[in-house]
Amino acid sequence: MTWSVEVDEHTCIGSGMCAALAPELFTLDAATASVVSSSVEPGELVLDAADSCPASAIVVTDGSEVVGPRP
Ligand code: SF4
């Protein structure tokens, strides 16, 4: 079972934190970040990236359940 991850390009402020933390998961193009793949293996790294995003622009879902950012 994989998780889905997406970056809301309208919310992303282009800080680059996600790409610095997890370059295998996120890239920073021009002004906003994007995901390398929308399907990711479940794990701490993608959750840490979602938790660390200053704009809360990264959303991680397991099926219909939002698992990141964590409350
Ligand atoms: S950490 Fe958040 S705001 Fe910064 S580039 Fe990544 S998605 Fe955008």
Q: What is the CATH number of the domain that holds 40?
A: 3.30.70.20
12 lies in which domain range? 3-68
Structurally, how many domains does the chain consist of? 1
The answer, yes or no, to whether any atom of ligand 1 lies below 6 A from the CB of 33, is yes
**What pLDDT sits at residue 7?**
98
* pLDDT value of position 37: 98
Query: Ligand 1 centre from 57 Cα, in Å?
Result: 6
Residue 34: its pLDDT value, please?
Answer: 97
In the prediction, which pLDDT does 30 show? 84
Residue numbers of the chain with a pLDDT score lower than 70: none
- For ligand 1, the distance from its centroid to the CA atom of residue 20, given in whole angstroms, is 10
* Percentage of the chain exceeding pLDDT 70: 100
Which pLDDT belongs to residue 17? 97
Cβ atoms 62, 1 nearer than 8 A: yes
pTM of the model: 0.96
As beta bridge partners, residue 60 has: 5, 68
Whether residue 54 is preceded by a cis peptide bond, meaning omega within 30 degrees of 0, is no
Give the other-Cβ count within 10 Å of 41's Cβ: 11
